[in-house]
Structure 1
Amino acid sequence: MYIAVTGSSGTLGRATVERLRADGHDVIGFDLTGTAGPGFTRVDLSDYGQTLDAFLGVTARHTGLDAVVHLAAVPVNGLVPDVTTFENNLSASYHVLFAAHRAGIRKVVLASSITAMGFPFEIAPPALPVDETYTRAFNTYGLGKVAEEAIAAQLVGWDPDASITALRFTNVVAPDAYDTFARAADPDYRRDLVGSWVDARDGAEAVALALAGAQPGFEVYNVAAPGSGNAAPSRAVAERWFPGIPVAEDLGEFESLMSTRKIQDRLGFRARYDWR
């Protein structure tokens, strides 16, 4: 396929471009920054005209796309004012989704987030591990992701062949950033992430699987390492952080409290990287 990856210069974006090219796809990166060349075009996704035009074709780059992977965003609250985070991300995502619809691009993979399902978990989730049935936002970044998922779920109804897959990524860890796990024995390490994390290369694997397994309609999958980022056994962690909250009887010893059972069962996701 000829695939556009927005946010191609980010940690997950770089890993995704590398992975999709290794799989034999032609990939073009769309971002505000990047390395000039045939695999990159500077696009401001806050401008719908630029977005649509880039999807329809770019001279000396491509004449049409088969799929879009949308990863671009202000990545966290705090970098800009809260309302700017929401307005920037929601606007860019709407432009991407609607431009894909207008351009006849039937496969879209959209980066959603753990922030759409309770982060930073100061209010306990209804059950553990937290799965895709729980949707709750407590900051403007998460609120934007909830809205993006809702828009995507409606847009697929406008075209019977359209497929949009929202991947709820947790904290993406670059291959050279594993030194953070030196703190894994801290009882509250990654408490706001329910202990979850994912290697950027495994995040790219999830994107590749979502593209390969795309079916008409809208689907949401959690993307995390199946193993927790906290050193303690997961049941003990759950009891310490969320006393009284129901825990799955078959929870694995170090299984992530952000459930990845759905993406494992349906798309065959298997993490290759583990900080342990």
Structure 2
Amino acid sequence: MRIVVTGGSGKLGRSVVRRLRDDGHTVTNLDRTGHRGPGFTEVDLRNYGHVVDVFLGLEDRPSGFDAVVHLAAIPAPGLAPDAVTFENNMLATYNVFQAARRAGIKTIVYASSETVLGLPFDVDPPYIPVDEEYPARPESTYSLVKHLEEQMAIQLTRWDPELSITGLRFSNVTDPDDYEDFPSFDSDATLRKWNLWGYIDGRDGAQAVALALQHAKPGFEAFIIANADTVMGRSSTSLAAEVFPDVKVVKDLGEHETMLSIDKARRMLGFAPEHSWRSYHPLRTTPTED
């Protein structure tokens, strides 16, 4: 396919662009910064005219695009004033969705967020593992925008029965270099309780994007995308019992099983994470000898 990726120069975006190109797709990266090589186009997504112009075709890519992967955003709370985060992220997503519709593009995959689940869980989650079945609980302006984006996608796919929009609720995106810090989390179970000790390796995030494009169907679907394990050496059962003693655990958890349920993504997309941090930091189970 001919795919446009917004934010393809970002942490997740780099993995997504690489994966889609390796899969044989032609990829255009829309971003304000990044490597200005083949396939890069500088675009301010807050300018609707720029976005729709690109989506209708560029001079060297006049035939337009088959699908959009929208990743560009201020990526977390606190990186900018709240009003700036709201204006930038909400406007950019509206412009991308609407420009895609005007250009006749019927497949959109975009980065929603684990934050809509209630992060940082200062209020207990309704149950563990959390999943896509309970209503959104945004606790920040950043998360509020992600919730509103999902609501917008629901309405746009209602307006256009042929349109497919998939929201991937990515967990905390990590690269192998980040795994150096993971063993230190075991010293305090509350250090990473804010997202139930979850993470997503960027390469597995890219896998989810590729699968979402492959399995796109008309309508809107949201999926939690996390790795199959936690960031912790301790068992998931003991973590839940210590930090969330009043929360019901609704399934038997594997030793290090994620508490951000990926069952829906496994079932509907065939999502199967391949890159665990434990491959880079094997847990020592027996004492070493001098």
TM-score normalized by the length of structure 2: 0.93
Does the Cα contact within 8 Å between 1:189 and 1:230 map onto a contact in 2? no
2:270 to 246, 268, 271: 268
Given residue 34 of structure 1, which amino acid in structure 2 is its aligned partner?
A: G
Contact 1:198 1:223 in 2 (8 A): yes
Residue 228 of structure 1: how far off its partner (Å):
1.0
Code of the aligned partner of 1:201:
R
* Greater Cα radius of gyration, structure 1 or 2: 2
1:187-240 CA-to-partner distances (Å, cap 9, x unmatched) read: 223111110001000000000000001111100000000111122111111111
Partner AA of 1:142 in structure 2: S
Q: How many pairs were matched up? A: 276
Q: Is the 8 A contact 1:38 1:60 kept in 2?
A: no
Identity fraction in percent:
50
Rounded to whole Å, the distance in 2 between the matches of 1:140 and 1:109 is 22
Task: Please tell me the residue identity of whatever aligns with 2:256.
Answer: F
Counterpart code for 2:264? K
Q: Aligned partner of 2:247: which letter? A: I
In the alignment, does 2:17 pair up with 1:17?
Answer: yes
Give ranges in structure 1 of 5+ residues lacking alignment: none
Alignment match, 1:249: 251
CA contact (8 A) 2:176 2:277 kept: no
Q: Quick check: 1:156–1:164 contact (8 Å CA) kept in 2? A: yes
CA distance in 2, matches of 1:164, 1:238: 33
Paired letter, 1:112 = S
Match of 1:173 in 2: 174
State whether residues 107 and 165 of structure 2, in contact with CA within 8 Å, keep that contact through their aligned partners in structure 1. Answer: yes
**1:148 corresponds to which letter in structure 2?**
E
The amino acid across from 1:132 in the alignment is E
The equivalent residue for 2:220 is 218
- TM-score by length of structure 1 reads 0.97
Given residue 131 of structure 2, which amino acid in structure 1 is its aligned partner? D
2:106 aligns with: 106
Q: What's the offset of the Cα at 1:178?
A: 1.2
Any unmatched runs of 5+ in structure 2? 279-290
Matched residues in 2 for 1:256 and 1:37: separation?
A: 38
Q: Could you tell me which residue of structure 1 aligns to residue 231 of structure 2?
A: 229
Q: Which moved more, 1:61-70 or 1:193-202?
A: 61-70
Contact 1:132 1:220 in 2 (8 A): yes
Task: State the distance in 1 between where 2:77 and 2:197 align.
Answer: 20
Give 3-state SS (helix, strand or coil) of 1:185's partner.
helix
How many angstroms does 1:62 deviate by?
4.4
Aligned position for 1:48: 48
Post-superposition offset of 1:137: 0.4
2:183·2:233 contact (CA, 8 Å) conserved in 1? no
* Counterpart position of 2:283: none
Corresponding residue for residue 81 of structure 1: 81
- Structure 1 counterpart SS, 2:177: coil
CA contact 2:86–2:142 (8 Å) conserved in 1:
yes
Aligned alpha-carbon RMSD (Å): 1.0
- Distance between the aligned counterparts of 1:162 and 1:253, measured in 2? 40
Letter in 2 for 1:274: S
Aligned residue for 1:244, secondary structure, equals coil
